[in-house]
Amino acid sequence: MYRVSILLVALAVGIANGKVLPTSRVSFPTGDIINGEEAEPHSAPYIVSLRSSGSHFCAGSIIGPDLVLTAGHCLIYNKFDVAAGLHDRKNLTGAAVRHATLKRSRTHSLFSGGVGPYDIGLIKIDPPFKFNSTVNKLKLPTQGKNHSGDATLFGWGKVNEVSLPNNLQTVDTIIIEYKACKKALPSGSPIHPTNICSNSNKNNRPGISACNGDSGGPLVQYDKKGKAESVGIVSWGYVPCGQNNDPSVYTHTSEHIDWIKKNSNF
């Protein structure tokens, strides 16, 4: 059967320079998690909402008091806000909001923009976040660490092809390593050894997927003490989200630990 999946050019919300992008089957990452459920409030205290003109367009993860990890394709605005400690993306009451600029951000030098490898970026925050029960950092893995097994995705991305959720969503999924992911994706997909993927089916529950608006957000695993560790950064996928059993594609965090360390002080 002919495959009708169409490339999702970054899972961010379709807004650029304050303007809504034309509706298209090829879209920028923005949406909700497909076939997920509402997360427990503040169960991912490291996740942040990146915002332009008051609207969510991407996510990120706090990895230090003054440092946020996100996707390179999310760093498109000269000025934007970073909101931590929120559950409802529209309600900033009690949230820690910081103004950010492109000049205080870093994107991997090998990232060519759009869909592709090395889709990773850093944002410098000033003043630093104060850590508490609702705002905290995500643990980073060691350089080159292999990840396998179950993982958990968080995001405010589309929950279907139309709607963004107000409240943070989550879903459990299964990690797919590079070779298996490449085989599962349509021929010619821009998959790279520095990517990692998640399965679209878990416990006979098909259609699990990241979607527009989830870009830059965290795929995590938990250790025996229940502490979350970064596995991947939402990068790209195929639309319609969650259909055709196409994996979701992430920047594999452990492939970039040396880069993060070298670029954290700016």
- Per-residue 3-state assignment (H helix, E strand, C coil) for the chain: CCCCCEEECCCCCCEECCEECCCCCCCCCCCCCECCEECCCCCCCCEEEEEECCEEEEEEEEEECCEEEECHHHCCCCEEEEEECCCECCCCCCCEEEEEEHHHEEECCCCCCCCCCCCCEEEECCCCCCCCCCCCCCECCCCCCCCCCEEEEEECCCCCCCCCCCECEEEEEEEECHHHHHHHCCCCCCCCCCEEEECCEECCEECCECCCCCCCCEEEEECCCCCEEEEEEEEEEEECCCCCCCCEEEEEHHHHHHHHHHCCCC
Select which of 56, 73, 147, 256 is catalytic: 73
pLDDT of 163: 64
Q: What tokens appear for 97 in the block?
A: 């909001």
Tens digit of pLDDT for each residue in 32-84? 455 568 999 999 999 999 999 999 999 999 999 999 999 999 999 999 999 99
| Catalytic annotation present for 209 | no
**Polymer length in residues for the chain:** 266
Q: What is the pLDDT of residue 171?
A: 86
| Of 32, 81, 119, 246, catalytic | 119
pLDDT at residue 42 in the model: 96
Q: What's the confidence (pLDDT) of residue 17? A: 34
Count the neighbouring beta carbons within 10 Å of the beta carbon of residue 183. Answer: 11
Burial letters 210-237, b for 16+ CB under 10 A, else e: bbbbbbbbbbbbeeeeeebbbbbbbbbb
Task: Identify the pLDDT of residue 6.
Answer: 38
pLDDT at 99 > cutoff 90: yes
The pLDDT assigned to 4 comes to: 35
Is residue 108 annotated as part of the catalytic site, yes or no? no
Whole-prediction pTM: 0.87
- The arithmetic mean of pLDDT across residues 183-194, rounded, is 92
Q: When comparing pLDDT for 198 and 123, which is higher?
A: 123
Q: What was the pLDDT predicted at 114?
A: 85
Q: Catalytic site residue 81? A: no
Sketch out the chain's domains with CATH numbers. 7-15+138-255 (2.40.10.10), 45-137+257-262 (2.40.10.10)
What pLDDT band is residue 244 in, cutting at 50, 70 and 90? low
Q: Is the pLDDT of residue 185 over 70?
A: yes
Q: Which residues contact 32 (CB under 8 A, 6 or more apart)?
A: 155, 156, 157, 158, 159, 160, 163, 164, 165, 169, 211, 212, 213, 214
Closest CA to 48 of 111, 99, 6, 10: 99
Name the active-site residue from 215, 230, 235, 254: 215
Pairing of strands 37-38, 169-176: antiparallel
Cβ neighbourhood burial of 22 (10 Å; 0-12, 13-18, 19+): exposed
